[in-house]
Amino acid sequence: MASNGTAANGFDFEFSSPRSPAAAAAAATAGGGLVPNGLSKINTKKPLSREVCKDDTTAPLKGVQNVDELHALQKKKASAPSTPKNPATNPSTPKNLTPRAYMSEEERHKQQMQSISASLASLTREVGPQVVKGDPAGKGTASKSVIAPRLDMSDSALKFTHVLYNLSPAELYEQAIKSEKGSYITSTGALATLSGAKTGRSPKDKRVVKEETSKDDLWWGKGSPNIEMDEETFLVNRERAVDYLNSLEKVFVNDQFLNWDPENQIKVRIISARAYHSLFMHNMCIRPTPEELEDFGTPDFTIYNAGQFPCNRYTHYMTSSTSIDLNLKRKEMVILGTQYAGEMKKGLFSVMHYMMPKRGILSLHSGCNMGKAGDVALFFGLSGTGKTTLSTDENRYLIGDDEHCWSENGVSNIEGGCYAKCIDLSSEKEPEIWNAIKFGTVLENVVFEEYSREVDYTDKSVTENTRAAYPIEFIPNVKLPCIGPHPKNVILLACDAFGVLPPVSKLSPAQTMYHFISGYTALVAGTVDGVKEPTATFSACFGAAFIMLHPTKYAAMLADKMKRHGATAWLVNTGWSGGSYGVGKRMKLAYTRKIIDAIHDGSLLEAEYEATPVFNLAVPAKVNGVPTEVLHPENSWADKKLYNETLKKLAGLFQKNFEVYTDYKAGNHLKLTEEILAAGPQLPKDL
Ligand SMILES: Nc1ncnc2c1ncn2[C@@H]1O[C@H](COP(=O)(O)OP(=O)(O)O)[C@@H](O)[C@H]1O
Ligand SMILES: C=C(OP(=O)(O)O)C(=O)O
Ligand SMILES: [Ca+2]
Ligand SMILES: [Mn+2]
Q: Is the predicted pLDDT of residue 670 greater than 70, yes or no?
A: no
Question: 161-170, 183-192, 580-589: lowest mean pLDDT where?
Answer: 580-589
Identify the residue with better confidence: 361 or 152. Answer: 361
Contact 659, 590 (CB under 8 A): no
Q: What is the b/e burial string over 603-641, where b = at least 16 CB atoms within 10 angstroms of the residue's CB?
A: ebeebeeeebebbebbbbeebeebeeebbebeebbeeee
* Three-state DSSP class for residue 554: helix
From the candidates 133, 267, 282, 346, which is the catalytic residue?
A: 346
Q: Is the predicted pLDDT of residue 625 greater than 90, yes or no?
A: yes
381 lines ligand 2 (CB under 6 A): no
Residue 578 Cα to ligand 3 middle (Å): 26
Contact 113, 145 (CB under 8 A): yes
Count of Cβ atoms closer than 10 Å to residue 212 Cβ? 8
CA distances from 41 to 12, 22, 28, 45 (A): 10, 19, 11, 11
Identify the residue with better confidence: 559 or 18. Answer: 559
Contact 279, 190 (CB under 8 A): no
201 lines ligand 2 (CB under 6 A): yes
Identify the residue with better confidence: 481 or 47. Answer: 481
pLDDT bucket at 366, cuts 50 / 70 / 90: very high
Active site residue 100: no
What pLDDT was estimated at residue 148?
Answer: 56
- Give the CA angle between residues 236, 238, 241 to the nearest 5°: 110
pLDDT digits (tens, 9 = 90+) for 254-288: 999 999 999 999 999 999 999 999 999 999 999 99
List the residue whose alpha carbon is closest to atom 16 of ligand 1: 386
Helix axes 342-355, 275-284, angle to 10 degrees: 40
Written as one letter, the residue type at 506 is K
Distance between first and last Cα of the chain: 106
Active site residue 145: no
Question: 326-335, 383-392, 595-604: lowest mean pLDDT where?
Answer: 383-392
List the residue whose alpha carbon is closest to atom 7 of ligand 2: 383
pLDDT digits (tens, 9 = 90+) for 598-623: 999 999 999 999 999 999 999 999 99
Which CB contacts under 8 angstroms, 24+ apart, belong to 427-434? 429/589, 430/389, 430/392, 431/394, 432/392, 432/394, 432/475, 432/476, 432/477, 433/388, 433/389, 433/392, 433/468, 433/475
β strands within 280-358, DSSP E: 301-306, 323-327, 332-336
Average pLDDT value for residue range 312-331: 96
CA–CA separation, 78 and 361 (whole Å): 38
Q: For residue 444, give the nearest of 279, 679, 576 by alpha carbon.
A: 279
Q: Is the predicted pLDDT of residue 393 greater than 60, yes or no?
A: yes
Looking at every residue in the chain, the average pLDDT score rounds to: 86
What pLDDT was estimated at residue 54?
Answer: 77
CA distances from 303 to 213, 265, 289, 346, 616 (A): 20, 17, 21, 11, 45
Helix axes 169-179, 275-284, angle to 10 degrees: 150
Residue 391 Cα to ligand 1 middle (Å): 10
294 lines ligand 2 (CB under 6 A): no
pLDDT digits (tens, 9 = 90+) for 486-519: 999 999 999 999 999 999 999 999 999 999 999 9
From the candidates 202, 338, 383, 539, which is the catalytic residue?
A: 383
Q: Is the predicted pLDDT of residue 11 greater than 60, yes or no?
A: no
What pLDDT was estimated at residue 18?
Answer: 41
CA–CA separation, 307 and 245 (whole Å): 10
467 lines ligand 2 (CB under 6 A): no
- Report pTM: 0.85
Q: Is the predicted pLDDT of residue 4 greater than 60, yes or no?
A: no
Whats the size of the chain, residue-wise?
Answer: 687
199 lines ligand 1 (CB under 6 A): no
* Three-state DSSP class for residue 565: helix
Contact 614, 681 (CB under 8 A): yes
pLDDT digits (tens, 9 = 90+) for 223-257: 899 999 999 999 999 999 999 999 999 999 999 99
List CB contacts of 246: < 8 A, sequence separation 6 or more: 120, 122, 129, 156, 159, 161
pLDDT bucket at 174, cuts 50 / 70 / 90: very high
From the candidates 269, 467, 488, 550, which is the catalytic residue?
A: 467
Distance of CA 527 to the CA centre of its chain: 13
What pLDDT was estimated at residue 685?
Answer: 65
Q: Is the predicted pLDDT of residue 8 greater than 50, yes or no?
A: no
Residue 421 Cα to ligand 2 middle (Å): 8
What pLDDT was estimated at residue 59?
Answer: 67
Active site residue 600: no
**What strands lie across the sheet with 4-6, from one edge to the other?**
4-6, 12-15, 39-42
Written as one letter, the residue type at 60 is P
Q: For residue 444, give the nearest of 274, 321, 322 by alpha carbon.
A: 274
